[in-house]
Amino acid sequence: MDVFALDRSVVGDYSAFARSFTNVKSEGLRRSIDDTYKTGRFWPEPLLQLNPHYKAGGSVLDLVRDGTLDTGCAA
């Protein structure tokens, strides 16, 4: 599962839902609202944390090397 794709999907769905209640006819106001939504003000970046109580395993680099984690995690 790609949690980042899931996050984008949920945020996109919620944005469409939140904006479905109004029909803004003023072009200037609609542009301002669009700009506010684009800033991400209403949904902060996802927070990912590690739980120190899990059983110790390999390092992130080990997990990237064995294919468990995406290569981007090594960065």
Q: What is the pLDDT along the chain (75 residues), one digit of tens a residue?
A: 788 899 889 989 998 998 899 899 999 999 999 999 889 888 887 777 877 777 777 889 999 999 989 999 998
Structure tokens at 7: 């996050």
pLDDT at 47: 79
- On the CB side of 71, CA atoms within 13 Å amount to 0
Q: If 0-12 CB within 10 Å is exposed, 13-18 middle and 19+ buried, where does residue 59 land?
A: exposed
Domain ranges (residues) in the chain: 3-74
pLDDT at 9: 93
pLDDT at 72: 92
Structure pTM?
A: 0.50
